[in-house]
Every structure is written in structure tokens, then in C-alpha cells.
Amino acid sequence: MAEGGYRHVPVLLREVVELLDARPGATVVDATVGEGGHAEAILERMGGSGCLVGLDRDEEALERSRRRLERFGDAVVLVHSPFSRLLQVLQELGVETVEGVLFDFGVSALQLEVPERGFSFRYPGPLDMRMDRGQALDAWKVVNTYEEGELARIIREYGEERWASRIARRIVLERERAPIDTTDRLAEIVREAIPAPARRRGGHPARRTFQALRIEVNRELDEIRQGLESAWEVLAPGGRMVCIAYHSLEDRLVKGFFAGRAGRCRCPVEKRCSCGDQEPARLLTSGALKPSPEEVLANPRARSARLRALERR
């Protein structure tokens, strides 16, 4: 699918369709429907019958999905919503249980490749990073109004950046001279804050900081926690949940959640177990599935993808 100067390529498509194993007549939730690549393949697997409920915070992505999936007619219901509201959305639709839920936590090409969205350090654009452009908090407010200590914490925890304190200090000094309004200026500030030898390792020097800011703006980790809990609550016996993560923070949340439901407690040994008496589940993946070298060659964005799946018994 080529549009707007980029090509939308769904990640791990074959693996998603096979592991979700959606049968004709099933009800499936694509909680991060994006531009509809995975949803289209799932609906084809279902023979166009049943129902696919697609959620997304990005209205532009939903509109692209709507055009892509219109041939499936009433088998598709698209809703502008974060996946943390999955339960409420299904209740409003009168759906009590579902046979499958898919989460793809990645940032779409639509968001990354459009400079006006302000997600990427590679293109000059406004500091935005909102997946839902109707929300109040954006990256500009985080960068220009958060206290230095809070900035450092966010960059350290969400970006796993060892130079977080230096970067936060440099940001505060620079914004005292003039507000930091653009992605390219922020990227340069971050680059200058990191010692020269460290800049030559691990890709672009601003990559981790931009990731951290995006997570803060969109409350991504809280969204994942709530989304996983909601999906588990509505998943029917025999239903399957498939998750694709792109960095260690996301993958750890999915791994821990799945392990708890499958009876492999990951609570810290020094603390009392908080998993409780959960319904049993079966892990469908041994560890995380990764894209093949051929897929990475065809779609470099897939390189960091990690897929995990489980089935509710």
C-alpha cells in the first residue's frame, strides 16, 4: 500500500494470522488497527464473516483503515479510542466475549514519516508526538515545562538512556534562552549533551530520548497494562491474544503478563505474589518470535519486533 510517500507494511503478518487463528464467524479485536494491514489479512482468514472491531487513537489512521477495509462491509467496526477503553467499547457494542485480540504496539509509518506529526528526530517538524491529536499533552509541553528532575526520570526510565541527567540539564539550559519548538533543534540539543565517544554507538544519539518523550506524551506503558487486562477479561475460553512489542519496556510488560496467566509467576521473590488465582492459559510461543532476515531486509522497521501469543483455556 503506497500513499503519501511511504509504504505501509504490516509486521510479522503470517505469524499473526496463524497464531490468532480466527475462524469464520468469530469476533476479533484489532486493538491497534492502524492502517488495517493486519486487520485485512485476519478478515480474509475469516472469510469476511464474523466481526472485527478495530480501535485506534489516530483518526488519520482510522480513515485509511476505513478505506482499506470497506469491501468487508458490516464485518468491520472501527472505533476512535485508545485500547485502554477496550472493555467500554465492547460493552457499548453489546459484545461480551471475543475469540481473539491483537496488539501491535509500534509507531506507524504514517506517524513517523509525516514531519508535521513531530515523532521523528530525522525530520524537522513541530514537537508534537500525539497519537491522538485531540489530547492536550504534547511533546512541546513536556520538553518546555517539566522540571529537570522529572525530565531526567522520564528519559532514564522510558528511554533507558544512561546520559539522561546530562540531557535533561542541557534541555533546561537551552529552553531558558528560547523555547524548544522543533524536533531538529531538540535532536541537536540531545546530541550535544551526550559525550562524543557515546554518540558513535547505538544509532542516532536522540533515539532514546525521543522514545521516552513519546511514551510520556501518550502514556504508552499505562495503556499497555490496561489494554492487556481488558483483553484478558473479554477473551473467551479457547480465545487467543497476540502482542507485538518493539522495545524492551513493552516486551517485558507482555512477557510478565503472559507468564502470570500461564502460571509462571514473575513477582519479585522478596515480595508477596500479586498474580492471584488467574484463569489458566497456554503460551503459544516459546520466547518471543522475531522477524526473519528476509522480512527485515524487505521491511527494516520490523527489525526490533517481538511477538508473543497465548491461548485462554
Question: Minimum mean pLDDT among 99-108, 209-218, 274-283: which range?
Answer: 274-283
- The H or E element that residue 230 is part of is helix 220-234
Q: Extract the runs of DSSP E, i.e. beta strands, from the chain.
A: 2-3, 6-7, 27-30, 51-56, 76-80, 98-104, 235-245, 281-283, 306-312
CATH architecture designation of domain 2-110+221-312: 3-Layer(aba) Sandwich (3.40)
Q: Residue 70 gets which letter from DSSP? A: G
All residues at 6 or more sequence positions from 65 whose CB lies less than 8 Å from its CB, including other chains: 33, 34, 35, 36, 39, 54, 56, 78
> What tens digit of pLDDT does each residue of 29-49 get?
999 999 999 999 999 999 989
Between residues 236 and 264, the one the model is more confident about: 236
Question: Would the CATH topology of 2-110+221-312 be identical to that of 115-218?
Answer: no
Span 54-67, mean pLDDT? 95
Strand partners, 258: none
Residue 281 C-alpha cell reads as 492459559
Residue 145: pLDDT over 60: yes
Residue 312: pLDDT over 70: yes
Domain 115-218: assigned CATH number: 1.10.150.170
> What tens digit of pLDDT does each residue of 3-25 get?
444 456 899 999 999 999 999 99
Task: Determine the Cα–Cα distance for residues 22 and 101; give it in Å rounded to an integer.
Answer: 10
Strand partners, 51: 27
Domain boundaries, the chain: 2-110+221-312, 115-218
102, 18 contact by CB (below 8 A): no
Task: Determine the Cα–Cα distance for residues 250 and 247; give it in Å rounded to an integer.
Answer: 6
> What tens digit of pLDDT does each residue of 228-257 get?
999 999 999 999 999 999 999 999 999 999
